[in-house]
Structure formats: structure tokens, C-alpha cells
Homo-oligomer: A and B are copies of this chain.
Amino acid sequence: MTVTLGVDLGGTKIQVVAITNRRVVGEARHLTPQTDAQAVVDEIIAAAREAAGTGTVKAVGVGTPGSITSEGHVSMAANVPGFMHDVPLGPSVSKAFDGVPVTVDNDVRAASMGEFHRGAGRPFRDLLGVFVGTGVGGGVIIDGKLRRGRGNAGEIGHTVVRDGGRECTCGRRGCLEAYAGRMSIERAARRKQADGAQTVLFDVMKRKGRDRVTSSVIAEALDRGDELTRSLIDQAVDALGIAIANAQNILDVEAVIVGGGLGDRLGPPFVRRVAEAMRPRLRVPEHEPAVLTTQLGDLSGAVGAAVIAGG
């Protein structure tokens, strides 16, 4: 059996799928080593071998954060140890699998392709994917084709929703990510708590044994009626509504898919609220796009990377 592998490289975990005849026939999930680039590359190869099992690997697709060269080198990926500087990721993976073709693409664009071809986006000709995790990334597929631009298309997370507003991880102000990204939500909660606001958010975090406010920590704080968390999520919903409506007014796509850790964890009720926040800002509200959750969940990225590699 021949398989195409899809790898989703993240700061926390490495997810791999093996695909044959458009079906996932193998899976592996490893933690991302927190040491150096060589350890990360070795772990990707180990996870890939595990997912491939006895299959013959014919191609590998990798979705990664950061900047990517046409030769499959990666840099500027702040979340992945050692990946701020140039890492020859594509060539290293290819070498480990007897020189098979390896395509390296942006992780969020890969996830959008995964949902478009194998997930919630299948009924549609075009798609805006919005992935709300540590940060907020986007992928635009128009008439079936992934929009790469000159390498930087899809950055909906850094469109301005409130000019001069909350500071963003990118150093500018008022971006969507400054309101909807998990890291920004955590920072805002810490600031509010330091200013005297009451919240169970960090108690939940500690009780869950986490050192950061994950999507599941946010979900539990919401379930427990935490006011501060509710107000921060209200702002995130509003920011997503503005940014998605702005993109839709320009692109007029058939569907918007809201995924990522927060989108997947908070699920349909959250995504419905985002659609409600979008609607009044649409130029043609009677022609709104379908706004959907992902179908592949946290496999979107790995499946999409395999799709891009021809799997």
C-alpha cells in the first residue's frame, strides 16, 4: 500500500496522518520537543514513520508556522524551538524517506485546504478559513484554488478591527488576533486581574495542571459563569464578526469555516455567535455565507498538508 503523509507542525504537538485513496489510514501524534531544531525534525520523521506503518511513502506534505522558502526551508516560527532561524525542513524530511517529494506550506493554509477538500468545505467552490488558536490565522480558497499571493495571503488575524486598540502579539494595535487569539486573551485577563478584576480563569488553569490558558481552560471558565472570561469572549466574537464581514464584503465567498483550538473547543454555539456578529456588517446580509465549524477538528492541518502533497 502506498500512502501520502500529511504533517501538521505546531509548538506543542506534531500531528501526522497517512492517506490512501482520500482516506486516513494511519495517524500519529507526538509532542514537539522543546529543545532544538534537530530534535524537532527528528521527531517529525519518527511520527511520520509511525503514521506510515508498513505503507510505502510516495509524498509528504508539511504544514508549518513561519516563513517558508520555495525549497521548503522554514524560519521565523517563534513557537517551534530552533525554528526562528533557517531550518531545511523539506530536504531533511525528503532525505529520511528516500528522496520522496516533500511540499512545505503554511499551517493555516493547509488546514483550510483540508476542510475545503475533505471537511466542512466540500459543498462549496470557495472558502474563507479562520483558525482561532494561540494566534488567529486564515486561508482563502477562491474558485477551488488556494490563494498564496506573494507568500503572505490569508492574514486575517492581522487585519485591523479597532484602529489604535488592544496591543497585538505582532506589535501593532487593534488586530483581530489582539482580541481573539488565545495568547492575547490570556494577557488581557492577567492585566484585568492585576487591576483587581475577579476571575476563576487562572484557578481553572492550575487545577487542570496547565501553565497557560488553553481553549479548554477558557471553556470551563465560561461554563462556570466567569464574568471576565465572558466579557473577553464577547470581545473576541465581536472582533471575529468585524474581520470576517470585512473579508466577506471583498471576497463574497460561499462559506466561512471557523476552527482552531478555540473554534473547535467552543464549537457550534460560538461559531453561531460569530455569524451573528458578522451579519449586521455585511454589505449584502441577505446573501450571507455559510458559517461553519470544522469537520476534521485538529486533523484539518495534517489532512490539508497531505492534500497539498497530492494525497
- Chain A residues in the interface with B (C-beta under 8 A): 126, 138, 140, 142-143, 145, 147-156, 158-163, 170, 172, 238, 242-243, 245-247, 249-254, 280-281, 283-284, 287
Among B154, B155, B284, the residue within 8 A (CB) of A152 is: B284
Chain B contacts for A287, CB-based, 8 A: 150-152
Chain B contacts for A162, CB-based, 8 A: 163
Among B138, B143, B172, the residue within 8 A (CB) of A250 is: B138
Asked if B161 and A163 sit within 8 Å, CB to CB, the answer is yes
Asked if B150 and A250 sit within 8 Å, CB to CB, the answer is no
Distance (whole angstroms) from the CB of A181 to the closest CB of chain B:
14
Distance (whole angstroms) from the CB of A167 to the closest CB of chain B:
14
Chain B contacts for A150, CB-based, 8 A: 252, 254, 287
Asked if B252 and A160 sit within 8 Å, CB to CB, the answer is no
Instruction: State in angstroms the CA–CA spacing of A193 and B184 once bound together.
Output: 42
Asked if A250 and B156 sit within 8 Å, CB to CB, the answer is yes
Among B149, B172, B246, the residue within 8 A (CB) of A253 is: B149
Chain B contacts for A138, CB-based, 8 A: 250
Distance (whole angstroms) from the CB of A289 to the closest CB of chain B:
9
Task: Say how many copies of this protein the assembly contains.
Answer: 2
Distance (whole angstroms) from the CB of A245 to the closest CB of chain B:
7
Among B126, B151, B161, B250, the residue within 8 A (CB) of A155 is: B250
Complex: chain B residue closest to A239, CB-CB: B163
Given contacts A147-B251, A150-B252, A251-B149, contact A246 B159 (CB under 8 A): yes
Among B140, B154, B249, the residue within 8 A (CB) of A156 is: B249
Chain B contacts for A250, CB-based, 8 A: 138, 140, 153-156, 159, 247, 250-251
Asked if B172 and A281 sit within 8 Å, CB to CB, the answer is yes
Asked if B246 and A172 sit within 8 Å, CB to CB, the answer is no
Given contacts A172-B280, A246-B159, A250-B159, contact A142 B147 (CB under 8 A): yes
Chain B contacts for A156, CB-based, 8 A: 249-250
Asked if A252 and B153 sit within 8 Å, CB to CB, the answer is yes
Complex: chain B residue closest to A162, CB-CB: B163
Residue among A143, A155, A243 with the most chain B CB within 10 A? A155
Instruction: State in angstroms the CA–CA spacing of A287 and B148 once bound together.
Output: 14
Among B151, B153, B160, the residue within 8 A (CB) of A251 is: B153
Distance (whole angstroms) from the CB of A285 to the closest CB of chain B:
10
Asked if B246 and A283 sit within 8 Å, CB to CB, the answer is no
Instruction: State in angstroms the CA–CA spacing of A257 and B284 once bound together.
Output: 24
Distance (whole angstroms) from the CB of A158 to the closest CB of chain B:
4
